[in-house]
Chain A
Amino acid sequence: MSNNVDKTPDSKSHDSSRRQFIGYGAAAMAGLAIAPGITLFDLAHGRAPEEAASSKVRWGMLIDSGKCATGCNDCVSACGKENGFSGSRETDSQWIRKVEIKDLRNGQSHSLPMMCQHCEHPPCVDVCPTGASFKRADGIVLVDRHICIGCRYCMMACPYKARSFVHEELQDQNPDVPRGKGCVEACTLCVHRVDRGGQPACADACSAAGHNAILFGDLNDPNSEISKRVATLATTQVRGDLGLNVGVRYQGI
Chain B
Amino acid sequence: MVSLAKLREMLNWQRGAALAALLAVGAFAASSAGAHEGSATGRVTKPVHAEASGDKCVRDTAYMKRHHMDELKHQRNETMRKGIRTTEMSLQGCVNCHADKKTNSVLGKEGFCQSCHAYAAVKLDCFECHASKPKAITALHPMASQGVKAGSEADMAAKMHPGSVEPNTTGGASK
- A residues sitting closer than 8 Å to B (CB atoms) are 34, 36-39, 41, 47, 49-53, 64, 66-67, 74, 77-78, 81-82, 84, 86, 134, 136-138, 142, 144-146, 169-170, 172-176, 178-181, 183, 191-193, 195-196, 198-199, 201, 204-205, 207-208, 210, 212, 215, 225, 229, 232-233, 251-252
Contact = CB atoms under 8 A, between A and B. Distances in A.
B56 interface: no
A191 B157 CA distance: 20
Which secondary structure dominates chain B's binding surface?
Answer: helix
8 contacts: A39-B162, A53-B82, A66-B175, A146-B80, A174-B144, A196-B85, A204-B151, A208-B149
Contacts of B141: 172
B159 interface: yes
A173 B131 contact: yes
Interface string B143-159: 11011111100110111
Contacts of A34: 165-166, 169
Contacts of A199: 158
B32 interface: no
A144 B129 CA distance: 12
A77 B151 contact: no
Which secondary structure dominates chain A's binding surface?
Answer: loop
Interface residues of B, number: 46
B39 interface: no
A64 B170 CA distance: 13
Contacts of A232: 173
B113 to A, nearest CB: 14
B86 A49 contact: yes
Nearest to B85: A49
Given A81-B151, A175-B130, A50 B172 contact: no
Contact of B158 (A137, A191, A208, A251): A208
Given A86-B146, A208-B154, 14 more contacts: A39-B162, A47-B83, A49-B85, A52-B83, A77-B147, A78-B149, A81-B144, A144-B80, A170-B129, A173-B130, A175-B133, A201-B151, A207-B154, A233-B175
Contacts of B86: 49-50
